[in-house]
Amino acid sequence: MFWRVFKTKLKVLLRNKSCLFWVLIFPFIMAILFNAAFSGLNAMKESKSSKVAVVQDALSENSEWRMFFKELDKHKSFEISFTSAENAKKKLDDGEVQSYIDFKDDKAHLFIKENNIGQTLIKNALDQYAELNTTAAAIAQTSPEYLMREDGFSKIMTEDFVKDDNTEHTDFTVNYFFTLMAMAALYASLIGIELTKNNEANLSTKGARLSVSPTNKTMVMVADLLVGFVVCSIQQLVLYFFIRFVLGVQMAAEPGWTLLISMMGVLAGLSLGIFVGASNKKSEGLKNGLLISVIMLCCFFAGMMGDPILRDKFETMMPLFAKVNPIAAIADGYYALFAYNGDMEYYWQAFARIAIFAGVMLALSLVLSRRKRYDSI
Amino acid sequence: MTVFKAYLKIMLCNIGLIVMYVAISVLVVYLNTMNAPAPSTYEDITVNMAFIDRDNTVFSHKFCEYVGSYADDVLEVEDEEHAIQDFIYDDYTRVLIIIPAGFEEAALRGEAEVSQKWSMEGVSMIAEMHETRFLTSMNALARSGMSRDEILKQMEKTSETDAEINMIGNLEEKDNRGGTIFAVFSAYPVMAETILIVGTVACVFNAQTVKRRNEVSAMPMWKLNTQLMIGNLLFCVLLVAILWVACCFIAPNTAMSMTGVMMFVSMLALAMTFSAMASLITSFVKKREVLSGMQTVIPLGLSFISGIFLDSSLLTGEILNVAKFFPTYYYAQSIERIGAYTEFGATQWGEVLSSIGIVLAFGAGYYVLMLIITNVKRVKNKNK
């Protein structure tokens, strides 16, 4: 009997086009959009050179400034061009350079039009020049021969004393995909609302018919829940492989653990939908709107929309909400698999958070749905 | 004005949804404006730094003090693998600098080195410049044969030195970043709400029974359509007015200035364009559930590709080329331009009006397309 009800409910769900759109198609559309939009972010992470024009009118051929800028041009962070004063101003106005430097009484004057990394870099380079001059003057008083040596002061200026040591997972754009998968899991709540509508006597004629039929209501609800759970879990697995292998986004390499937390997220979504569906008699449109708004808000606080650093700011401002937010809990589970190289403690903490959320929602839904009697409908 | 009154009634039936979407949208927009610095004079771009000092000597402390003085904020982080991973991942404006054990001995030989961890190269370069300044000077002093105390004394003098540079900036930044971000982000709720309400009203009037009743009624169709358009216009004006009121609290300088006038006139044009788009959608979508799906997918998708959720400088050329087929791209570009205006002469108004014209042209196009589809369907039904 149970499996017959299960098969029937599966057929009904697969014919519900609007539900299927939200659960099966919308996450894939968003994944494609994200991948297209965020590929530019990966390019932004690589720095661009600071383009600087140097006015050469007041500089002699052997000027120390000229030698300094020629050395600076060899650095990957700068593109130095020597030009006339008029041309430099024009280049700045046209946006060809980010700044230009003119000289008066051997003092550098920096001209800029906006406040950005490029301008800061050239200003710091000029500060460094002044500082090294002071250092050279101090060395000249105690060990002038060091300044003359070939392997002396001029050599040290070309050495690199800062090593980059990036062994961590630093691609912050994956958080958008983590939150997308979490959102897709929580969209199972729309199936939960549909489930409640079909099983509650005061919400639909189908529900009224079910309540007077001899079929065990609990068995029907469990079958309905299982159908939603199976369909959404398959969707989560397919979405994971789509994001990882088709879009080429660097996700966690453990599909098993990823699916496990996704399935708990699906259960949380279903129970959230049942809770919202059973908690009031408002129209289906309003309930769906409310659910989607709540899920989008949770997605926003988990860092899905806007600057990636906002997620950390919200976690600092509202730590309790960050712990309770189901989207953040699922995304944290994915992050633990992505970044912590086999250390499962953080993963299980995230799993526990979403499991507690699902448990609370299920318990509340049970309280609202069980043993209802109606004088009239 | 029977139809207009019916329009208002349908709008009032959905007032709960409208209030919810507007409240959530304003909250989201407000939280995004929190991340909008607005320097009006030149300031060095600074980054957040953290130090892991594994040497804990005078030299390492001196290094941390010097480099840390140029940081936006010096943060604490545990010297533990997961804490370091989280530190770098959570915020791309952070740099972690690790001073190895034996730093002082290396410094006295003129070979002091540090390592750094980061997630964005541009950010790391800013920190690296300050680290290089200190280390180059210190190592040079050590290699020249100076003693430990002489090096420390000289580094005090060196660290007091800043280049004597006169900064003359033609900075055109005004304090409009908050208002600009508000106006750009507000495109999302404008799109979503307009499609929702205009689409819902259109769905009601396109229902078969209502449509047939209207066709046989005494009221001519042009009058009915005119009243619907007045209703659409009123809704657009109300929505933009509510967002303007919200902007008065979030970014009052922008809202109450000519910049605000230009921005909200552009926003009104966008709302009118999307009311035309909603009419187009309802010419082939009859079900409320499908409309609800469109109301989420279309604004979200357009917001991502048009530079509303992400700055357009972060989007690739291909994406921007696709975005140019939609009015939201031109709206976002126009708002960014308006935010940078320092004067409001004929040139500026010309640019704004031309952007508004482009956005409204899209609206006219959607409306014409809707009329074509409706007429084709009517002819098809007649032939049946």
Q: Mean of the pLDDT values across residues B131-155?
A: 90
Q: How many CA atoms lie within 13 A of B253 on its CB side?
A: 9
Residues 248-267 of B with CB under 8 A from A: none
Q: By the CB < 8 Å criterion, does A349 face chain B?
A: no
Distance CA B210, CA A204 (A): 24
| Residues A159-186, mean pLDDT to the nearest whole number | 86
Distance (Å, whole) CA B101 – CA B258? 59
Residues B65/B57, Cβ–Cβ less than 8 Å: no
How big is chain B by its Cα radius of gyration, in Å? 30
**Chain A residues whose beta carbon lies within 8 Å of the beta carbon of residue B98:** 165
Map out the domains of chain B as residue ranges.
2-38+174-383, 48-160
Highest mean pLDDT among A11-20, A57-66, A98-107: A11-20
Here the tokens at position B5 are 């009154």
Query: What is the C-alpha radius of gyration for chain A, rounded to an integer number of angstroms?
Result: 31
In the prediction, which pLDDT does A111 show?
83
Q: What is the structure's pLDDT at B159?
A: 59
pLDDT surpassing 60 at residue A189: yes
Confidence at B167, pLDDT banded by 50, 70, 90: low
Length of chain B: 384
Identify the pLDDT of residue A371: 63
Structure tokens at A342: 């086999």
Model pLDDT, residue A183: 92
CB contact under 8 A, A172 and B92: yes
CA–CA distance from A173 to each of A271, A298, B210 (Å)? 30, 18, 49
Cα–Cα distance for residue pair A44/B44, rounded to 1 Å: 20
Contact: A29, B136; criterion CB under 8 Å: no
Contact A30 B98 (CB under 8 A): no
Provide the residue count of chain A.
Answer: 377
DSSP label at B48?
E
Task: Please give the average per-residue pLDDT across A226-236, as a whole number.
Answer: 93
Q: Are A239 and A194 in contact (CB under 8 A)?
A: no
Task: Read off the pLDDT of each residue in B307-322 and give the average, rounded to a whole number.
Answer: 78
d(CA B190, CA A342): 45
Residue B173 confidence (pLDDT): 47
Residue B5 pLDDT greater than 90, yes or no? no
| pLDDT tops 70 at residue B39 | no
Question: Rounded to the nearest 5°, which phi and psi values hold at A92?
Answer: -70, -45
Q: Is A88 helix (H, G, I), strand (E, B) or coil?
A: helix
List pLDDT tens digits, range B270-303.
999 999 999 898 888 877 777 777 888 888 888 8
Asked if residue A193 has pLDDT above 90, the reply is: no
Alpha-helical regions (H) of B161-257: 177-185, 187-206, 208-216, 221-250, 252-255
A173 vs A250: CA distance, rounded Å: 10
pTM: 0.78
Percent of chain B with pLDDT over 70: 91
- The two three-digit tokens of residue B17, written as one number: 């949804």
* Per-residue model confidence (pLDDT) at position A51: 85
3-class secondary-structure state, position A58: coil
**Rounded mean pLDDT, A113-140:** 82
Rounded to 5 degrees, φ, ψ at B222 are -65, -35
Looking at CA atoms only, how far is residue A340 from chain B in angstroms? 7
Tokens representing A19 are: 């539900």
- Residue ranges and CATH numbers for the domains of chain A are 2-42+173-369 (no CATH), 50-156 (3.40.190)
Residues in Cβ contact with A89 at an 8 Å cutoff, skipping those fewer than 6 apart:
A100, A111
- Residue B179 region by backbone torsions, left for phi larger than 0, else alpha for psi between -120 and 50, else beta: alpha
| B172 and A CB contact within 8 Å | yes
Which stretches of chain A are assigned E, i.e. beta strand? Answer: 50-55, 78-83, 99-104, 107-112, 162-164
The pairing of beta strand B114-118 with beta strand A162-164: parallel
- Choose the closest CB to A135 out of B20, B124, B158: B158
Residue A77 banded pLDDT, cuts 50, 70, 90: confident
**pLDDT bracket for residue A365 (50, 70, 90):** confident
Coil, helix or strand for B313? Answer: helix
How much is the average pLDDT of B339-353?
A: 83
Substitution target from B41, B89, B150 for chain A, most A beta carbons within 10 A = B89
Q: Which pLDDT does position A45 carry in this prediction?
A: 58
Per-residue pLDDT, B267: 93
**Which of A24, A30, A76, A166 should we substitute to test contact with B (largest number of B Cβ atoms within 10 Å)?**
A166
Shortest Cα distance from B182 to chain A (angstroms)? 12
Residues 6+ apart with CB under 8 A from A13: A19, A20, A191, A194, A227, A228, A231
Output the pLDDT for position B172: 47
Q: What is the mean pLDDT of residues A163-184?
A: 85
Q: How do residues B45-84 score in pLDDT, each as one tens digit?
A: 788 999 999 999 999 999 999 999 989 889 999 999 889 9
Provide the shortest C-alpha distance from residue B29 to chain A (in Å): 10
Predicted pLDDT at B65: 92
Superfamily (CATH) of domain B48-160: abc type-2 transporter like domain (3.40.1710.10)
**Residue B310: its chain A contacts at CB < 8 A?**
37-38, 40-41, 306
Q: Strand B166-169: give its sheet, edge to edge.
A: A78-83, A50-55, A99-104, A107-112, B166-169
CB contact under 8 A, A146 and B132: no
User: Over pLDDT 90: what percentage of chain A?
Assistant: 21
Asked if residues B190 and B21 have their Cβ atoms less than 8 Å apart, the reply is no
Kindly write down the DSSP assignment for every residue of A275-292, as one continuous string: HHHHH----HHHHHHHHH
pLDDT(B362) > 90: yes
pLDDT digits (tens, 9 = 90+) for B87-140: 888 888 889 999 999 999 999 999 999 999 988 877 888 899 899 989 999 999
- Range scoring the smallest mean pLDDT among A25-29, A196-200, B224-228, B345-349: A196-200
pLDDT attached to residue A290: 82
Which residue is closest to B107 within chain A, CA to CA? A161
Q: How many CB pairs under 8 A join A and B?
A: 284
Is the pLDDT confidence value at B35 over 60?
no
Q: pLDDT tens-digit profile of B182-212? A: 888 889 889 988 988 888 888 888 888 887 8
Chain A residues whose beta carbon lies within 8 Å of the beta carbon of residue B28: 297, 300, 305
Q: Please provide the DSSP assignment of B247-290 as one string.
A: HHHH-HHHHTSHHHHHHHHHHHHHHHHHHHHHHHHHTT---HHH
In this prediction, residue A350 has a pLDDT band, given cuts at 50, 70 and 90, of very high
Instruction: Pick the closest to residue A309 from A29, A41, A48 (CA basis).
Output: A41
CB contact under 8 A, A124 and B130: yes
Q: What's the pLDDT band for B37 if we cut at 50, 70, 90? A: low
What mean pLDDT is reported for chain B? 84
* pLDDT > 50? residue B236: yes
Asked if A289 and B287 come within 8 Å (Cβ–Cβ), the reply is no
The answer, for B293 touching chain A at a CB cutoff of 8 Å, is yes
- List helix spans (H) across chain B: 2-13, 15-33, 58-68, 81-90, 103-109, 121-143, 148-160, 177-185, 187-206, 208-216, 221-250, 252-255, 258-282, 288-305, 317-323, 327-340, 346-383
Residues of B in contact with A163 (CB under 8 A): 113-116
Angle, helices B15-33 vs B187-206, to 10°: value is: 170
Please, which pLDDT band fits residue A239 given cuts at 50, 70 and 90? Answer: very high
Q: Dihedrals φ, ψ of A367, to 5°?
A: -60, -40
Burial of A366 (0-12, 13-18, 19+ CB in 10 A): middle
Q: What is the pLDDT of residue A316?
A: 83
- Residue A241 token pair: 């492989």
* B42/A115 CB distance under 8 A: yes
Residues of chain A with pLDDT > 70, as a percent, come to 93
- Mean pLDDT value across chain A: 83
pLDDT tens-digit map of A298-332: 988 888 876 777 788 888 888 888 889 999 999 99
Q: For A257-306, what is each residue's pLDDT tens digit?
A: 999 999 999 999 999 998 988 887 777 777 887 888 888 889 888 888 76
